[in-house]
């Protein structure tokens, strides 16, 4: 959610969930002071500057935490809307809903989803109709809305492949209307940087028109990673679409690269402290990352029985 042009002055905010509501104000730079008795959980964020307003569902998480340890679940490529030869587009939706139930029971601190929430083509590799893409993006929003923990998403090549894909993504998932959707945050002395690996295709020929990890993105990545204040750095991206990230791994002192896109290993031989971690685990599995006191451990868990 964005309110373009707001750089200073007063912004009215409202946090709201099923049982509680909290009115806030912020002044640039962005600062909040939450009431100590505000119940934990996910809240919708409603923002207004008097003339304009916007809403971001489940975008604020209030929690009580002590200690430095935390857990991240890494999943990727649900491809909602994938069409089987007989025209069925529901199979991957049902699988994603089972995964969401598993993650809610597991209750990690947050989820990293490394792209390809939807699909851009059917069994014959022809672009899906705009209506099918639109429905898949809507279902992706609905399925993710069932999560009771925060989820951070980076876009994949399927998600914003065509003009119809980009319009549907903007409507249901948000983000900038043009350009890459890169962002970063620090959590308990670990920096997570989400680098948009977008690819735009010609809907008639399938040719690549433009793709992410531009020089400007790489410089932004270098700047983010160079800032002090953390003891580990994690890069989250869908795929190395320009084959630039391997050579940067040593320079950026990465603890891990989280990615998706392909079941084949990527970035073999790159100098990453804990590893390049593919989210394409076997069916009905996801990867857990446990951070504690400067160390990271990984585990693949099975949610087949959920």
Q: Identify the pLDDT of residue 43.
A: 83
Closest by Cα among 111, 154, 76, 63 to 289: 111
Q: In this predicted structure, what is the pLDDT of residue 3?
A: 37
pLDDT (mean) for 81-97: 75
Question: 3-state class of 95 per DSSP?
Answer: helix
Q: How far apart are CA 123 and CA 32, in angstroms?
A: 48
Band of residue 124 on the pLDDT scale cut at 50, 70, 90: confident
Output the pLDDT for position 4: 38
30-71 confidence digits (pLDDT tens): 556 677 787 888 888 877 766 667 777 777 888 766 567 899
pLDDT of residue 182: 93
Q: What angle in degrees, to the nearest 10, is found between the helix axes of 130-144 and 163-172?
A: 30
The answer to whether domain 70-302 has CATH 3.60.21.10 is: yes
What is the per-residue pLDDT across 250-299, written as a single tens digit (0 to 9) for each?
Answer: 788 888 889 888 766 565 555 555 567 777 777 778 889 999 988 888 88
Q: Report which of 83, 156, 155 is spatially closest to residue 121, judged by C-alpha positions.
A: 83
Where in the chain do CATH 3.60.21.10 domains reside? 70-302
Instruction: State the Cα–Cα distance between residues 281 and 74, nearest whole angstrom.
Output: 10
CA distances from residue 160 to 4, 134, 157, 205, 248 in whole angstroms, order as listed: 22, 11, 6, 16, 25
Task: Give the pLDDT score at 81.
Answer: 74
- pLDDT of 127: 85
Q: Using an 8 Å Cβ cutoff, are 241 and 157 in contact?
A: yes
Q: 56, 44 in Cβ contact below 8 A?
A: yes
């Amino acid at each position: 959610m964005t309110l373009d042009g707001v750089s200073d002055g007063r912004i009215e905010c409202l946090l709201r969930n099923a049982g509680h509501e909290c009115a806030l104000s912020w002044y640039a730079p962005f600062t909040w002071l939450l009431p100590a008795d505000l119940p934990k959980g996910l809240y919708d964020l409603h923002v207004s500057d008097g003339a304009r307003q916007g809403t971001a569902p489940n975008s604020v998480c209030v929690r009580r935490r002590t200690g430095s340890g935390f857990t991240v679940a890494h999943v990727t490529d649900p491809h909602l809307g994938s069409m089987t030869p007989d025209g069925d587009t529901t199979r991957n939706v049902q699988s994603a809903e089972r995964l969401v139930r598993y993650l809610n029971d597991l209750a990690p601190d947050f989820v990293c989803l490394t792209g390809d929430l939807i699909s851009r083509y059917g069994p014959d590799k022809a672009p899906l109709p705009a209506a099918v893409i639109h429905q898949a993006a809507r279902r992706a929003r609905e399925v993710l809305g069932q999560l009771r923990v925060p989820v951070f998403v980076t876009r994949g090549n399927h998600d914003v492949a065509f003009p119809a894909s980009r319009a549907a993504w903007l409507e249901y998932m948000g983000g900038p209307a043009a350009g890459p959707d890169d962002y970063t945050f620090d959590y308990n002395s670990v920096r997570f940087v989400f680098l948009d690996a977008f690819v735009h295709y010609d809907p008639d020929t399938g040719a690549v028109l433009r793709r992410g990890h531009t020089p400007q993105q790489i410089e932004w990545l270098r700047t983010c990673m160079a800032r002090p204040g953390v003891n580990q750095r994690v890069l989250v991206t869908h795929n190395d679409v320009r084959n630039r990230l391997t050579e940067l791994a040593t320079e950026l002192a990465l603890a891990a690269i989280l990615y998706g896109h392909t079941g084949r290993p990527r970035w073999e031989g790159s100098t990453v402290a804990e590893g390049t971690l593919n989210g394409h685990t076997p069916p009905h599995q996801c990867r857990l990352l446990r951070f504690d006191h400067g160390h990271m451990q990984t585990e693949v868990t099975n949610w087949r029985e959920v």
